[in-house]
Structure 1
Amino acid sequence: MLSVIQVHQSNHIMREDRTLIVITHLSQLITLLTGFGSLILPLILWVTQKEKVYQMDSHGKNIINFQLSMIVYCIICVPLILLFGLGILGFIVLGIVSVVFPVINAIKASNGETPRYPLSFNFIS
């Protein structure tokens, strides 16, 4: 899974490291252990490795857009709690989505695909 390839656009030698990309997708789950970090850890991995690892830039952008979108949806759910408890239902759905899709997309990334996260706003393009 690890190889060195030449990217012709910028003449930088980048390595193909699917394992690191999979770890980047799964790093979003750090929130389950610590209560925070689902944006911070993938952001650090993306920023430090996007110039070194082939396809890290596109994967990292998808992950960061997804995490920022989850934050926006959580903010929207707070006032919805007062409206028949819809915010609580929203938090439950967001919790499931924020666990399931990083795992699914990590599996896709390990197979060489560039996964997309649903319901993501395009903050970084």
Structure 2
Amino acid sequence: MSDPQAQPPGDSNYRDPNAGQPPYGQQPGTGSPYGTPTAAAPLSEADDRQWASFAHLGGILSFLPSLIIWLVFKDRGRLTNTEAKEALNFQITLVIGYVAINVVSFILAIVTFGIGGLLIGLTWLLWVAGVIFSIIGFLKAKDGQNYRYPVAIRLIK
């Protein structure tokens, strides 16, 4: 047993080759295997405009694109933060409108034996308004201008 690494740990001549080294994957001098977290780089002006406009355009699908863009880029670009919040507030307002129309239509359909169910068609008008206002917001944000939706409950400040 001439190799000191091959000797059992109870032996007084044994030396651990990794003594003093941090565990595998951990950066020296940190308590985390991933190193020190760093802040994301700020967006350039072109990227800021792009993500701000995408926040509005994503509203055509639902509120999720605006929410994701706001959560990811809110600290990286001033325009993106402002426009994504505005788009998200508008999309939340539309969701509230959809729910209200469906509930009222359902209740009226029960009371009027189905005739009140025709109000469900108002959801198409709400969707068309959402698409039009989202496109307008997209075009304004693409030019670097702030856009304020004409009807929105501003829940996120």
Q: Tell me if TM exceeds 0.5.
A: yes
Which TM class, normalised by the smaller chain length?
Answer: 0.7 to 0.9
Work out the CA distance in 2 between the residues paired with 1:90 and 1:116: 23
Work out the CA distance in 2 between the residues paired with 1:13 and 1:40: 23
Tell me which residue corresponds to 1:69. 93
- Give the AA of the match of 1:110: K
Larger Rg: 1 or 2? 2
Secondary structure in 2 matching 1:120 = coil
Tell me which residue corresponds to 1:15. 44
- Give the AA of the match of 1:49: F
Tell me which residue corresponds to 1:122. 154
C-alpha deviations, 1:32-86, integer Å up to 9, x for none? xxxxxx1112111111111112311111110111111011111110132226346
C-alpha deviations, 1:69-120, integer Å up to 9, x for none? 0111111101322263463242121111111111011111112211011221
Structure 2 unmatched runs, 5+: 1-40, 110-115
TM-score, length-scaled by structure 2: 0.61
Matched-pair contact (CA < 8 Å) for 2:79–2:144: no
Work out the CA distance in 2 between the residues paired with 1:13 and 1:98: 30
Question: Quick check: 1:44 aligned with 2:76?
Answer: no
Aligned residues: 107
Secondary structure in 2 matching 1:55 = helix
Task: Name which of structure 1's ranges 78-87 and 109-118 shifts more when overlaid on structure 2.
Answer: 78-87
Question: Quick check: 1:110 aligned with 2:142?
Answer: yes
Matched-pair contact (CA < 8 Å) for 2:101–2:120: yes
Work out the CA distance in 2 between the residues paired with 1:79 and 1:20: 35
Identity, in percent, stands at: 27
Tell me which residue corresponds to 1:26. 57
TM-score, length-scaled by structure 1: 0.75
Between 1 and 2, higher relative CO (CA 8 Å, sep ≥ 6) is seen in 1
Task: Name which of structure 1's ranges 111-120 and 82-91 shifts more when overlaid on structure 2.
Answer: 82-91
Structure 1 unmatched runs, 5+: 1-11, 32-37
Q: Which structure shows the bigger proportion of residues in strand conformation?
A: 1
